[in-house]
A and B are shown apart, each in its own frame.
Chain A
Amino acid sequence: MLTKEQIAQRIAKEVKKGQYINLGIGIPTLVANYIPADLDVVLQSENGLLGIGPFPTEAEIDPDLINAGKQTITMVKGSAIFSSSESFAMIRGGHVHLTILGAMEVSENGDIANWKVPGKMVKGMGGAMDLVASAKNIIVAMQHCSKDGQSKLLKQCTLPITGIRCVKKIVTDLAVLDVLPEGGFKLLERAPDVSIEEIKSKTEGKLVIEGSVPEMVF
């Protein structure tokens, strides 16, 4: 099984040179730690920044510079700042190449649920619905099963959905899977020491296995 850091590390391998990327809160934020500097990617923060840098030192803290998780941040050289409407214009307009976000459930046709649990306090969707409706490529980072052992890769989402037919790839603590255009999770790689049988038993949605499934290499 992969740790959260390893999930982030594996997702970082999907990143291509020169991409503009939006990272969600949680495991996706960790992906930034594993993207090689020579790929020259630019991280977008939907509150209005292209070019997120590392967290500030105590001396560098600026309350006028935060990310979408309201954390204090810095800017890299060549950053640009803009309004919220401009920020979502670049998201909706398809200019952001890759969106990486967490999820509570993903269905075999690529629907995602990650904003609301009935009976619990509703906090709001923030920018998630805009991101999933428009991003060209969406990778989900999540645990394969919920805390009570239920599969999070489903035939159909049971929770209120955030967007339809949008997830392209999923990296969990057990596996890397593509969401096929015709429906189904195609198993691409498994975590070290995790068997295909275990992945099968923990995937409620349609699992497609073709040929051998290699172990992930770190």
Chain B
Amino acid sequence: MIDKTISNAQAAVADVFTGATLMFGGFGLSGIPENCIKALLEKDITGLTCISNNAGVDDFGIGLMLKKRMVRKMISSYVGENAEFERQLLSGELEVDLIPQGTLAERIRAGGAGIPAFFTPAGVGTEVAVGKEVREFDGKLYLLERWLQADFAFVKAWKGDTAGNLVYKGTARNFNPMMAAAGKITIAEVEELVPVGELDPNQIHTPGIYVQRIFQGVNYEKRIEQRTVRKV
């Protein structure tokens, strides 16, 4: 099988260009492509459109790209944890498109699955419906929503093999599988990169066909946003 391994994050993001549309897996700070974000921060690119459920926090994740003014537009469902985001939004430096989370997930899934549009009930009768076609099916109203695709999709998995097959762990899976399929170039960073044949084909979450580049990430911080514990 073709070896899709690339040496490191810097090499993996080398051709990401100004004005590109990027997808980032993750929910909050869980399952985000930490190594690729760090590598992108070293590049002199701007005007990016970033599709990600959240926008990181001020000093971690996509928040760092916002701070460096690399992002022109965010497409997200919830961006509440980021003061710099708020400042740029209010000053007009940053454009934001807020989308219901399930609609966002399905638009990305549709993008990877070759479905240009679909109907969903989420947002009917709200400001999300403004300018969208509304159609009735079997007595209920639905909105027409379009697919989302990206020039580059950055995904983070637990394990991967050199052919790009991926296995996620826990709720760090979230948006990663759909984004892997919706990127023209999908770059996977994994905690453990193994030779082909080591992963059980029955347990693959993202088949390697969707992945163009894969590398083993380093120094995962895996920052926790809300550390909640119970007393023993």
Nearest CB on A from B18, distance (A) = 27
Could you tell me which residues of chain B, from 71 to 98, have a CB within 8 Å of some CB in chain A? 76-80, 86, 89-90, 98
List chain A residues, Cβ under 8 A from B229: 55-58, 61, 72
Contacts of A111 in B (CB 8 A): 125
Partner pick for A127 among B77, B79, B227, CB 8 A cutoff: B77
Q: Which residue from B102, B125, B171 sits with its C-beta under 8 Å from A130?
A: B102
The answer, yes or no, to whether A26 is at the interface (CB within 8 Å) is no
* Also in contact, A55 and B77, with CB within 8 A (given A134-B121, A164-B124): no
Contact B222 A127 (CB under 8 A): no
* A157, B6: Cα distance in complex, Å: 54
Tell me if A121 and B86 are in contact (CB < 8 A): yes
Pick the interface stretch among B7-15, B42-50, B104-112: B104-112
Q: Which residue of A lies closest to B100 (CB)?
A: A129
Interface string of B47-61 (1 = CB under 8 A from A): 000000100000000
Give the docked Cα–Cα distance between A123 and B124 (Å).
20
Which residues of the partner chain B approach A89 to less than 8 Å between Cβ atoms?
Answer: 106
Find out whether the CB atom of B224 lies under 8 angstroms from the CB atom of A84: no
In the bound complex, residues from chain B placing their C-beta under 8 Å from that of A161 are 125-126
User: Taking the complex as formed, is A1 at the interface, i.e. its CB lies under 8 A from any CB of chain B?
Assistant: no
Q: How many pairs, one residue from A and one from B, have CB atoms within 8 Å of each other in the complex?
A: 169
A76 CA to B227 CA, complexed, in Å? 19
Q: How far is the CA of A154 from the CA of B29 in the complex (A)?
A: 38
Residue pair B31, A64 in contact (C-beta under 8 Å): yes
| Min CB gap B166→A, angstroms | 12
Contact-residue bracket for chain A:
35 or more
Chain A residues closer than 8 Å to B222, beta-carbon distance: 63-64
Would you give the 0/1 interface string for B208-232, flagging 1 where the beta carbon is closer than 8 Å to chain A? 0000000000000011111111101
CB-based contact B170/A124 at 8 Å: no
Q: What bracket does the count of chain B residues touching chain A fall in?
A: 35 or more
Whether B122 and A129, one on each chain, are in contact in the complex, defined by CB atoms closer than 8 angstroms, is: yes
Contact assessment for A85 and B122 in the assembled complex, using a CB-CB cutoff below 8 Å: no
Q: Are A83 and B78 in contact (CB under 8 A)?
A: no
**B78 in contact with A84 (CB, 8 Å):** no
Docked-complex contact A57 and B122, CB < 8 angstroms: no
Are the C-beta atoms of A72 and B224 separated by less than 8 Å?
Answer: yes
* 18 further A-B pairs in the complex, CB-CB below 8 A; given A63-B30, A92-B102: A47-B174, A55-B229, A56-B230, A63-B29, A63-B222, A66-B30, A69-B226, A70-B28, A70-B225, A81-B171, A83-B177, A111-B125, A121-B89, A125-B78, A129-B122, A133-B122, A133-B124, A163-B125
7 closest cross-chain pairs (CB), A and B? A88-B102, A130-B102, A123-B80, A64-B170, A164-B125, A63-B222, A124-B78
Q: Which residues of A contact B (CB under 8 A)?
A: 45-49, 54-58, 61-73, 81-85, 87-89, 91-92, 111, 121-130, 133-134, 160-164
